[in-house]
Amino acid sequence: MTSPARQNCVRSRCGYGSYRRGLCHKHYWAAWRAGRFGRRDPGPARDHVRKLRCLGWTYRQIAEAAGIADGVPHHVDAGVSVWLFPESEQAILSVPLEPRESRRGVDGTGTYRRYEALQWMGWPEAMIAAEVGVAVGSLSTMRKRGDRVSYRLARAMAELFERWSATLGPSRQTATKARKRGYASPWAWDDIDDPRAKPSGVRQERTAVE
């Protein structure tokens, strides 16, 4: 098997091998120190990395999707990187803002709010748990601890919420307990997945229904 031909530095009269950007190690770092490659404020890339992290992505998954070194997303997020090359910034920003299954999971806020809202409508925990594929009691325990949830569970709960949230469940007892506990109804949220959102009209809804 023939080895690929060695590429030399693009600088004239330089016989050293190419290191990066067609330049040898010496000429590459000289150009880097002179700022000839262009530099970007890491702020937009940092915001994008953090949004991806909220959607369940690990730093390695972000790096693989962007085609960059594993450490770059972490350094950007942690504030270690004070600037980025234009191509690194563009690579990070090109990663789509979509949920990603990983060991990190995703924020559980929307899942737990949907779980509570379905109980407000009278759907018992056992029925909800069976539909989303978890053990009875698991959702309550995870909610109390504030655990992140798997993307699979978040998606299953969102799909169940779409099917059941406009229909009264079979258990009046469940609905009564949920309302006494202060759970919000399905229509109390402007953005049920936003951790900063607050339910509106809860007291009026409780009075009108009971």
The model's pTM is: 0.58
Helix ranges (H only) for the chain are: 25-33, 43-54, 59-66, 71-78, 86-93, 109-120, 125-132, 138-145, 151-164, 172-180, 202-209
- Looking at the chain, the whole-number percentage of residues with pLDDT higher than 70 is 91
**Domain residue ranges in the chain:** 8-37, 43-93, 109-209
pLDDT, residue 186, reads: 96
> In this structure, is the dihedral angle defined by the CA atoms of residues 136, 141, 143 and 148, taken in order, positive or negative?
negative
Largest CA distance in the chain: 87
pLDDT digits (tens, 9 = 90+) for 71-102: 999 999 988 888 888 888 999 999 998 888 77
pLDDT(160) > 50: yes
Is the pLDDT confidence value at 55 over 70?
yes
List % helix, strand, coil for the chain (3-state, nearest 5). 50, 5, 45
- State whether CATH 3.30.1690 applies to domain 43-93: no
Tokens representing 151 are 């993307």
